[in-house]
Structure 1
Amino acid sequence: MTRSRFELPPRLVDWSILVTVGFVAATGLLTLISGRPSDAVVFALHGVGGLALVLLLFWKLRRVRPRVTVRRAWDRHTPVSILLALLAVGALATGAVWSFGVTPRLGPWPLLFVHMVLGALVVPVLLVHLRSRFRLPSTHDFEGRRTALSSLAVVGFGALTWRLQRTANRLLDTGGEDHRFTGSTEDGSDAGNAFPVTSWVADDPDPIEADAWTLRIGGETRRELELTDSDLDPENGHRATLDCTSGWYSTHDWRGVRVGDLLDAVEPGTEAEWVSFRSVTGYRWSLPVEEAREALLATHVDGERLDHGHGYPLRLVAPGRRGFQWVKWVEAVDVTRRRDLGEWLAIFVSGFDR
């Protein structure tokens, strides 16, 4: 098949797909922990990379079409190749549909969640695919001005298409312009507890009885402190946006106890650098000490006492962090010298033993 003027050599197409998938996967992971407006560039790069992948996949699928459509040309690796193509196309299509403001649910799952799952599955299937299709590009593949122009065309296609998509959203009023920079859509702002209840993996404890609950603050501190529900004085407030990785955001007036006041009461040691917030389920997340001081342990949302689904009796409010980092049902605050890396495992296994 004759190559188009700007098309990369076959082996460079394959390697460009590998590099681009790695880039899109990496930026996709970063989007999960990026919640500040200054992080918007991460989401833009993720979108540009995904759209550049569209052009690369077009070249790839056009080249291999005869090997797939002719059954006698199949080998034992062809089913994996087809599965990979379906996953990649599915991930790109769901991402594109969501970016245009179309937000359907597929069964119990929002479309953005389906996009993330399909994207995550591409990586291991691609690695299996490479075991049988691995070919290093030759020096000849990199020669000539045409290869350089083709590489620029891939990047330019991604960037230009991303810009045109955003312009189309604005001109056609598709709803995509209403998305936050993270891609999330507004749901339940300023409505008290009437915003979505979501739990990470298996985090779903029984309702907590206030009389049986205490909050412990300690670790690398001069003293420890234990508070009951009646000891909490919700005199501080934050207006902050909870942005969930499942595709929605909600802005509220939160009221509760300033973490900085709790730290002052226990006096962290001079080497303390992190503060870990632990849920009754074992779920936990850490913030740097200085950031933690500005966070809030909330008891109320828009004047209402938090209900169980939203973390009663106490949940972390961490402005600029994504929703899964706003720990619910907090029962302990631990000051540490080093970050608790085990929290990355805890967020996936917490709740399964309850």
Structure 2
Amino acid sequence: MGPDGAPVPRRVTNALLLATLLALVLSGLLGWALPQGSAVSLFQLHRALGLALLVLIGWKTGIVLPSLRRRLGRDSSTYWGCIAASALLATVVLGLAWTLNIISFDLFWGYSPMNVHVALGIGLLPFVGWHAWIRRRPNRASAPVVSRRTALRLGVVALAGAAGWTAVEPLAGLWNAMRLPSGSKQAASFSANDYPAEIWLFDSVPSIEAETWRLRVGERQLTLDDLLRHPRREVQAVLDCTSGWWTEQVWSGVSLVEILNTYARVGHAVTVTSVTGHRIEFPLADVRNALLATHVGDEVLSPGHGYPVRLVVPGRRGYQWVKWVAEISVS
């Protein structure tokens, strides 16, 4: 309680919601960006934070309901608050339903539930930040922010998140939610071109003719025949898509390192660019086992899967496996 007997300050709740949501977004995005072996602890933290957020939503609901009844219909900002609260709850529910295998990666209007989960989480940040700012009550800055009761509730939130995570993880296994540490679920492994075909954000599948396609490497322009003259390699690797599915396939093509050693100067970083403009930069050490794939299984890559050449980088997320490769540069 505050010195005047007021309830736990709302600014504490708002600040906690903002901090937890920010931590969720950062842990999710870093989990996407880092090599998969380095991101396991981030995925575990993300799930625990999600359950802590669910507890915070319940706490916040108890605070706002009395004032909501008084202000609804007289203050237009309450409608925006209700929309943001609904979106926040939907984000948590989608994540929990995904973990418990209640929903899968089926696409709705081109997007999976995980795409919606991520978009809602990122989109909510400015709304929660704005709400925390306007409710900060600067005229009460001298009052203690964290009382003994507030500190106790914070401990309850932390314990609830940890306890919830340890309970949900075994449940996911019991309900047959076969997942990678990232949360992705298996889709059509060892099926050649029959696994899901998705594209990066607003890209579209380009129409590419093998006769006119060129791969720029340094100052050289390679044709598909030039590329295929190099020794053929096979790699069995898992493609883990950020839409929430993974597939294990046998990929074949040409070693990226061999192409770099043959046509490019020595450097510390490699940038691979698609004909769509999508590009990813890697430290050279991270692409030692990378492949410029032309086949999956015993089939030529389909257009949706990157024909004529896509990058295969074991241990990296799917959006980093650049499709329709057009240029490789070293810096």
Output the TM-score relative to the length of structure 1. 0.84
Deviation at 1:139, TM superposition (A): 4.9
Residue number in structure 1 paired with 2:176: 175
Q: Which amino acid aligns with 2:108?
A: G
Distance 1:138 1:175, change over 3 A: farther
Deviation at 1:267, TM superposition (A): 4.8
Residue number in structure 1 paired with 2:4: none
- Count of matched residue pairs: 320
Deviation at 1:321, TM superposition (A): 1.1
Distance 1:51 1:72, change over 3 A: closer
Deviation at 1:312, TM superposition (A): 0.8
Distance 1:138 1:300, change over 3 A: farther
Deviation at 1:75, TM superposition (A): 2.3
Deviation at 1:76, TM superposition (A): 3.5
**Contact 1:77–1:132 under 8 Å retained in 2:** no
**Contact 2:72–2:78 under 8 Å retained in 1:** no
**Contact 1:8–1:151 under 8 Å retained in 2:** no
CA deviation map 1:14-50 (0-9, x unaligned): 2211211111121122122245134111111111111
| Match runs of 1:241-280 below 5 Å | 241-269=238-266, 272-280=267-275
For residue 295 of structure 1, the aligned residue among 290, 293, 308 is 290
Mapped to 1, the partners of 2:70 and 2:264 lie a distance apart of: 72
Q: Secondary structure at the match of 1:141?
A: coil
- Higher mean alpha-carbon deviation, 106-115 vs 82-91, is at 106-115
Distance 1:165 1:304, change over 3 A: same
For residue 140 of structure 1, the aligned residue among 138, 144, 150 is 144
Residue number in structure 2 paired with 1:188: 188
**Contact 2:217–2:264 under 8 Å retained in 1:** no
Mapped to 2, the partners of 1:121 and 1:12 lie a distance apart of: 22
Gaps of 5+ in 1: 2-6, 219-223, 337-354
For residue 150 of structure 1, the aligned residue among 148, 153, 156 is 153
Mapped to 2, the partners of 1:18 and 1:71 lie a distance apart of: 23
Residue number in structure 2 paired with 1:342: none
Distance 1:106 1:288, change over 3 A: closer
Deviation at 1:53, TM superposition (A): 1.2
CA deviation map 1:133-155 (0-9, x unaligned): 223665523243x4433322211
Deviation at 1:251, TM superposition (A): 0.6
Residue number in structure 1 paired with 2:198: 198
- Say if 2:330 is the partner of 1:328: no
Deviation at 1:113, TM superposition (A): 1.6
- Higher mean alpha-carbon deviation, 10-19 vs 128-137, is at 128-137
Deviation at 1:203, TM superposition (A): 1.8
Deviation at 1:114, TM superposition (A): 1.6
Mapped to 1, the partners of 2:69 and 2:253 lie a distance apart of: 62
Output the TM-score relative to the length of structure 2. 0.89
Q: Secondary structure at the match of 2:192?
A: coil
Residue number in structure 2 paired with 1:166: 169
Distance 1:106 1:58, change over 3 A: farther
For residue 122 of structure 1, the aligned residue among 99, 121, 124 is 124
Residue number in structure 2 paired with 1:96: 96
Mapped to 1, the partners of 2:158 and 2:322 lie a distance apart of: 39
Mapped to 1, the partners of 2:108 and 2:36 lie a distance apart of: 30
Q: Secondary structure at the match of 2:15?
A: helix
Residue number in structure 1 paired with 2:279: 284
Mapped to 1, the partners of 2:250 and 2:223 lie a distance apart of: 23
Mapped to 2, the partners of 1:72 and 1:91 lie a distance apart of: 24
Task: Please provide the CA RMSD for this pair.
Answer: 2.2
Residue number in structure 1 paired with 2:108: 107
Mapped to 1, the partners of 2:223 and 2:180 lie a distance apart of: 37
- Say if 2:43 is the partner of 1:48: no
Mapped to 2, the partners of 1:67 and 1:330 lie a distance apart of: 56
**Contact 2:14–2:132 under 8 Å retained in 1:** no
Q: Which amino acid aligns with 2:131?
A: H
CA deviation map 1:154-199 (0-9, x unaligned): 11110110110112223xx3132x0111111111110101111101
Distance 1:88 1:260, change over 3 A: same
- Say if 2:47 is the partner of 1:31: no
Mapped to 1, the partners of 2:256 and 2:268 lie a distance apart of: 14
Q: Which amino acid aligns with 1:149?
A: L
Mapped to 2, the partners of 1:41 and 1:8 lie a distance apart of: 33
Distance 1:235 1:106, change over 3 A: closer
Identity of aligned residues (%): 36
